[in-house]
Structure 1
Amino acid sequence: MFLIGTIVDVVAILLGTAIGYFLPRIPDRMRETVTVGVALCVIAIGLSMALSDMNDIVLIIFSVVMGAVTGELLKIEARFERLAHRLEERFRRLYRGPIAQGFISATLLFCVGSMSIVGAVQDGLQGDHKTLFAKSVLDGFSAVVLTSTLGPGVGLAAIPVLVYQGLIALISNLFGSFLDTPLVIEPITAAGGLLIVAIGIQLAGLRRISVPNLLPAIVIAPMVKVVIHAISHM
């Protein structure tokens, strides 16, 4: 079954959220230190991804700029926040604390990355679950730490992860190996890495960045590269 990897990832996120929620109260000073530590790790992961495709640096810059313009015009962040706050109201009876921040931060962290796309493509094409199983371990541990600092809203990120990775796996299963090529994976990895760096900067409290409004860059980057490749081979 080609959705096994995604299902395991979703279970890992929910399990990590439960563990993080029921952990003993963490002192505020320790929580701040842990959060900064996690932020540094997120930044390191993002940088390693962003620097993996330096041959396309001009393309990535163009994609991020155009992605930012597109995201601002579409008001993606505002839509994201409305959804998050709607979920927050729905779960108000179960939990009185903030839910939106945990949901938004966790969704971006779990979905924006090459492992999500590559793993889902492998899942759909070959029934190979290893990449998503490895991602499940990382997401589970991240969910524990994020929940202890941002609350149980982190667990709600399992919903977009299921939809996002599940759709990629389904499309790959139906339409072949188009997504599983360097032309698509490399620019997505680099652009996604920059967005993960932005998430880390936010987690560290250094600066607020409208990361959702940068999301179109992940779509624009591979599209531009495919068009350039097609033109150069005409």
Structure 2
Amino acid sequence: MADPTCCECMAIREAGTPATPSSALGLVRACRRCSTFPVLAIGSAINAAAVVLGGLLGLLIRNDLPARRQHQLRTGIGLAVIIAGFHQVWTGVRPSGVGAAFGLMGIALLATTIGRPLGRLLRVQAGMNRLGRWAGQMFTRAQEGGRVPFHDGFTACAILFCVGPLSVLGPVQEGLNGDFFVLLVKGAMDGLAAFAFARAFRMAVVLAGLPVLAFQGTVTLLTMWLLQWLPDERMVQSINVTAGLLVVCATLIVFEIRKVEIGDFLPSLLVAPALAWLFF
């Protein structure tokens, strides 16, 4: 929580910070030394709860959602992802002046340019695709009436919910500034997916909420721990801006406009603070 006697906290309150879902809970609007971000990873807990709720509703309700309603929900989720991405970029650049804001945008673009070759070298997206194909095969087998062991169904659901760009970008954002809006959007997406998977995988879908909480919560806590080793606020802002740009790019996947290999861009989150330290 913000310390009323801390000069840095007072400066932040006077300058104002962007409104976030978590700011209403008093988890932000403080300097990094005084902040008490959600130790229990609130966003990941909500995401996991959405998976459980969607799975239970899928077991209880036998009818599929009409195609029109599915299209409306996908459109709404896509717009929410766009808002979340631009909000995160704004969170990163707002505390800076105009010149510094352009500098941060330049660093974010340069970080993605450098980060993508690193991701391809590490085969990040290729690994995600391999896991996704296996999970898709399990789902197809279950839909066609084939027997899928419980542990395979559980593993497939855990992969589908945990292996994706928002599974990393959302927890990183929450760890940086306590803002879990991206995870709220992801929770809506995962809840709808759990509803659809429930008839194929039964209770395995419901229990898949546990690895979601464990994985994403770990990423959030790890991000919070790493923050203390970043000596400059601009380094934190550069991560925010870079992550926001990647979230915006994720809308291309949601709307099925273009298949963007966002996984290969994830190393950009490590490149950005290094560039900020170098240039600022």
Provide the TM-score with structure 1 as the length reference. Answer: 0.70
* Higher RCO structure, 1 or 2 (CA under 8 Å, sep 6+): 1
Asked whether the equivalents of residues 249 and 260 of structure 2 are also in contact (C-alpha less than 8 Å), the reply is yes
Counterpart selection for 1:162 from 214, 232, 241:
214
Taking only the aligned residue pairs, the percentage that are identical comes to 15
Q: CA deviation at 1:26?
A: 0.6
Cα distance change of structure 1 residues 104 and 76 upon mapping to structure 2, 3 Å threshold:
farther
Aligned mates of 2:116, 2:81 — CA distance in 1: 21
Q: CA deviation at 1:199?
A: 1.3
Q: Which runs of 5+ in 2 are unaligned?
A: 1-37, 94-100, 143-147
Number of the residue aligned with 1:103: 160
Aligned mates of 1:118, 1:179 — CA distance in 2: 15
Cα distance change of structure 1 residues 139 and 205 upon mapping to structure 2, 3 Å threshold:
closer
- The letter of the residue matching 2:110 is F
Number of the residue aligned with 1:85: 133
Secondary structure of the corresponding residue to residue 4 of structure 1: coil
Aligned mates of 1:28, 1:103 — CA distance in 2: 22
Aligned mates of 1:171, 1:50 — CA distance in 2: 18
Aligned mates of 2:257, 2:105 — CA distance in 1: 25
CA RMSD of aligned residues (A): 3.8
The reply to whether residue 112 of structure 1 matches residue 169 of structure 2 is yes
Asked whether the equivalents of residues 191 and 217 of structure 1 are also in contact (C-alpha less than 8 Å), the reply is yes
The reply to whether residue 141 of structure 1 matches residue 180 of structure 2 is no
Number of the residue aligned with 1:5: 41
Deviations 1:138-159 (A, max 9, x none): 554342234457x469975863
Cα distance change of structure 1 residues 105 and 195 upon mapping to structure 2, 3 Å threshold:
farther
Q: CA deviation at 1:192?
A: 1.0
Q: Which runs of 5+ in 1 are unaligned?
A: 123-129, 230-234
Secondary structure of the corresponding residue to residue 26 of structure 1: coil
Corresponding pairs, count: 213
Asked whether the equivalents of residues 8 and 136 of structure 1 are also in contact (C-alpha less than 8 Å), the reply is no
Cα distance change of structure 1 residues 61 and 147 upon mapping to structure 2, 3 Å threshold:
same
Counterpart selection for 1:43 from 75, 82, 85:
82
Number of the residue aligned with 1:126: none
Provide the TM-score with structure 2 as the length reference. Answer: 0.60
Higher alpha-carbon Rg: 2
Number of the residue aligned with 1:72: 120
Secondary structure of the corresponding residue to residue 82 of structure 1: helix
Deviations 1:70-93 (A, max 9, x none): 122222111112223344566751
Cα distance change of structure 1 residues 158 and 19 upon mapping to structure 2, 3 Å threshold:
same
The reply to whether residue 192 of structure 1 matches residue 240 of structure 2 is no
The reply to whether residue 219 of structure 1 matches residue 270 of structure 2 is yes
